């Protein structure tokens, strides 16, 4: 069947938003609770989260997870949220408590960082009924043990080596769901998809960067930029 025309409805004001890079549409996506997810926004800025067309949000940040932050993000989001629940600085029973609380708050999945022990993941699997996502940062991670412990989705974040790591994992585990960072441009996103990523995380420009472009246009007496 030929590609069908897709009607698009936009608001007069809300049509100004941050749209995910077009190449992300080429990945297979991951179906979570019946919802197909291809693009995952990496942000905790509610104003950005509310003004994007990403399929889902990955809410992880460099501090110990706090339920009030998770709640604020999910209140503002109109897309499913994968909530960070620790695994680095935050370990053990607290991870389990945060994960259960995130599920009660409405998170579609929980994310744990690479230092998380497999024993914690096993206990986490017994605690929550939403997908467990573990971040993979290098080829030193024992993927098989992670999957045996109960991980549902891999979140590959290996900086410039992401595509190669995705390719290696995909070769060893043909059917494992993989989310991966797409990198800085369309070319790196495409490379990561071709390597085997099912979904791509995209880091949007910050509110400060968006505001800078807008104010520069205003100073030149130009119209509001489309960004």
**Tens digit of pLDDT for each residue in 120-139?**
999 999 999 999 999 999 99
pLDDT band at 32 (very low <50, low <70, confident <90, very high): very high
Q: How far is CA 87 from CA 37, 51, 170, in A?
A: 24, 29, 24
Q: Is 58 helix (H, G, I), strand (E, B) or coil?
A: strand
| Confidence (pTM) | 0.94
> What is the C-alpha to C-alpha distance for residues 156 and 154, in angstroms, rounded to an integer?
6
> What is the C-alpha to C-alpha distance for residues 95 and 163, in angstroms, rounded to an integer?
29
**Chain-centroid distance, C-alpha 91:** 21
Q: What is the mean pLDDT of residues 169-194?
A: 98
What does DSSP assign to residue 132? E
Predicted pLDDT of residue 180: 99
CB half-sphere exposure, 175, CA atoms < 13 A: 0
Closest of 153, 155, 164 to residue 60, by C-alpha:
155
Tokens of 88: 């680095």
> What is the C-alpha to C-alpha distance for residues 171 and 155, in angstroms, rounded to an integer?
16
> What is the C-alpha to C-alpha distance for residues 178 and 124, in angstroms, rounded to an integer?
20
Domains along the sequence of the chain with CATH: 28-219 (3.20.20.70)
> Does the pLDDT at position 48 exceed 70?
yes
Predicted pLDDT of residue 50: 96
Closest of 88, 48, 46 to residue 64, by C-alpha:
88
135 forms bridges with which residues in the sheet?
Answer: 155
Closest of 41, 6, 43, 2 to residue 20, by C-alpha:
41
Question: Parallel, antiparallel, or unpaired for β 30-32 and 35-37?
Answer: antiparallel
């Amino acid at each position: 069947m030929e590609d069908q025309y897709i009607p698009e409805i936009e608001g007069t004001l809300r049509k100004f938003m941050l749209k995910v890079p077009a190449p992300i549409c080429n990945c297979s996506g991951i179906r979570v609770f019946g919802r197909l997810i291809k693009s995952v926004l990496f942000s905790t800025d509610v104003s950005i989260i509310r003004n994007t067309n990403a399929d889902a949000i990955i809410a992880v940040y460099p501090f110990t997870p706090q339920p009030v932050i998770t709640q604020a993000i999910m209140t503002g989001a109109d897309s499913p949220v994968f909530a960070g629940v620790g695994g680095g600085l935050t370990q053990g029973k607290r991870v389990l408590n945060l994960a259960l609380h995130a599920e009660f708050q409405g998170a579609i999945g929980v994310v744990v960082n690479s230092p998380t022990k497999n024993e914690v993941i096993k206990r986490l699997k017994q605690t929550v009924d939403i997908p467990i996502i573990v971040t993979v940062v290098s080829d030193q991670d024992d993927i098989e043990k992670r999957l045996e412990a109960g991980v549902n989705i891999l979140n590959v974040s290996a900086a410039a080596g992401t595509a190669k790591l995705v390719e290696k994992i995909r070769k060893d585990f043909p059917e494992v769901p993989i989310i991966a960072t797409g990198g800085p441009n369309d070319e790196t996103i495409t490379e990561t998809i071709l390597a085997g990523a099912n979904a791509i995380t995209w880091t949007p420009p910050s509110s400060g960067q968006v505001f800078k472009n807008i104010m520069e246009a205003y100073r030149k007496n130009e119209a509001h930029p489309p960004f």
